[in-house]
Amino acid sequence: MTSLDTTVEEPVLVSDDRGVRTITLNRPAARNAVNLAMATAIDAALTEFDERSDLTVAVLAANGPTFCAGMDLKAFLRGERPITPRRGFAGIAQEPPRKPLIAAVDGPAVAGGFEIVLACDMIVAAENAFFALPEVQRGLVAAGGGLLRLPGRLPYPLAMELALTGNRISARDAADRGLINRIVEPGTAVSAALELAAEIAACGPLAVAATKRIIQDSPGWAADEAFERQSEVTAPVRSSADAQEGARAFTEKRAPVWTGA
């Protein structure tokens, strides 16, 4: 008897393992183009990820040869807008999670797909991947966060060139420019991203989330307020049970057992 695989009916697959959540875009036949169902599922997966004390870091991956081709234009023509009230485009662009998120890119990430990648904190990409914001070539504007984030991730002249021409940048060139954390063989981006995630998950979850917040928010802090603002974030971590456990585990020469409290 042949069993039917029903996973294709789910726009996003979610799995958890040892503090790491894996969120997988699962519309390979549509090049993982984002429709409302996918955006809603991503939003829900990220919201639960942030709320769960046993999860420290997440990997955003995709099934099929394309990471994401952007917005589903067929759904758009039917009147759909792949936007959620809280997180915006694709359930991530306007409000990424407060915990670290790693993009595992195996294949093209273009238009809204590149904007999803830019909403992540770290990028692991296969050598065959490439990135582009081709909206201007279609008379549109990349309004899903790409234009807001790209100048902070690449040198200004290069970010401007990519945005104004819609041209693609290869994973290798992106790595050379500092956009990508790790570049790997095709087909191995997810496993490499999970290795990076495991390194992060071995650390204190409260400390990890606070560290991300400081790095992310501090560029907007006034210089004379920076240390005070930082202290507001770090004080609860310093007084946490996990901080005590980290110190105790170090003195006892063992791995810490984090509780997220």
Question: Which tokens is 110 given?
Answer: 């273009």
Can you list the domains of the chain with their CATH numbers? 7-201 (3.90.226.10), 205-251 (1.10.12)
Q: Residue 30's CB: how many other CB atoms inside 10 A?
A: 18
- 9: pLDDT confidence band, cut at 50, 70 and 90? confident
* Sheet with 101-105, edge to edge strand ranges: 12-17, 20-25, 57-62, 101-105, 122-126, 182-184
In 36-103, alpha helices (H): 36-51, 73-77
Tens digits of residue pLDDT in 220-254: 999 999 999 999 999 999 999 999 999 999 999 99
Between the CA of residue 2 and those of 5, 47, 180, what are the distances in Å?
9, 36, 42
User: Helix or strand or coil: residue 190?
Assistant: helix
Tens digits of residue pLDDT in 54-67: 999 999 999 999 99
- For residue 146, which of 130, 137, 135 has the smallest C-alpha distance? 135
Q: Is the pLDDT of residue 5 over 50?
A: no
Question: Is the sign of the CA dihedral 16, 18, 19, 22 positive or negative?
Answer: negative
- pLDDT on residue 61: 98
Catalytic residues: 115, 135
Read off the DSSP letter of residue 3. P
pTM: 0.93
Q: What would the mean pLDDT of 170-185 be, rounded to a whole number?
A: 97
